[in-house]
Structure 1
Amino acid sequence: MSKLVLVIEDDEIVRASIFDLLEMENFNVVGAGDGVSALSLAREVKPDVVLCDMYIPEINGCGVLEELRKTWSREEMPFILFTSDYDPEIRNRAFALGANDLILKPLDIDDILNSVYKATGITPQSPQ
């Protein structure tokens, strides 16, 4: 059974690129463009991992993370935050809220894949 990844990114081109990348690796992917939609979708589909931009409309990435952690642990729903903000305070806050990983933009294919594979507990050699 393929793992389900929720991608939360307001830039449709970036979101589509991440979709393509993950689908090529045999992940199932769903997406949202803002924090409110993302929370609703996460509660509905219960993804195996969440990949979320920090700066999205409605509720930012840390806000989404904080809400999800009220229901699911780091192990139950791994959360990977990505941001272009190099501020250590954001990194510290993300990990304090229960992020599993933080990726700095510009996004690198290997960083995304390594983080998602680690979060799902599978390897590229066994994509399901």
Structure 2
Amino acid sequence: MATILVIEDDQFVRENIIELLEAEDFVAVGAENGSAGVVLAQAENPDLIICDVMMPELDGFGVLQELRSHEATATIPFIFLTAKADQIDRRQGMELGADDYLTKPFTRADILKAIATRLEKKALVERKPSKN
């Protein structure tokens, strides 16, 4: 059972995403801002992270930069889920190393497909023998 960290400052949205994930048999944990999300990601080592961009204390771009700079969290699949739909924002997120960028409003199918795709890719990479 995969563990997914949801970093979202809007409590209603965060709780709805967590509820959706738990209904799909994921273990879901939530953080109310970017700083708390970084701490939780380092403590929990989740299988995947869903993160808003616009948050107090540390925005989603900062969260991704921080997590990518540490070996333990550098390869965790990371999905932005945000209202920031501009191409510039999307490009910035992908250049920082995001694995996907979904915009609000989103459908249940959109988020579940993105999660399934990222977890499948992670599983393939983990199974692939290293070339030494």
Separation (CA, whole Å) in 2 of partners of 1:24 and 1:40: 25
TM-score normalised per structure 1? 0.89
List alignment gaps of at least 5 residues for structure 2. Answer: 122-132
Q: What is the aligned partner in structure 1 of residue 102 from structure 2?
A: 103
The letter of the residue matching 1:26 is D
Cα contact 1:33–1:57 (8 A) shared by 2: no
Aligned residues: 119
In the TM superposition, residue 56 of structure 1 has moved relative to its aligned partner by: 1.2
Deviation at 1:82, TM superposition (A): 1.3
Whether 1:55 aligns to 2:32 is: no
- 1:1-128 matches, cutoff 5 A: 2-71=1-70, 72-73=73-74, 76-121=75-120
Over the matched positions of the two proteins, sequence identity in percent amounts to 40
Equivalent residue letter for 2:52 = D
How far the C-alpha of 1:10 sits from its partner, in A, is 0.9
Query: What is the deviation of 1:57?
Result: 1.2
**Bigger share in helix:** 2
Higher RCO (Cα < 8 Å, 6 or more apart): 1
Retained in 2: the 8 A contact 1:5–1:28?
yes
Please, what TM-score do these two structures have when normalized by structure 2? Answer: 0.86
Q: Aligned-pair distance for 1:107?
A: 2.1
Moved over 3 A (4+): none
CA contact (8 A) 1:9 1:15 kept: yes
Q: Which amino acid aligns with 1:20?
A: E
Helix, strand or coil at the partner of 1:77: coil
What 5-or-longer segments of structure 1 have no aligned partner? Answer: 123-128
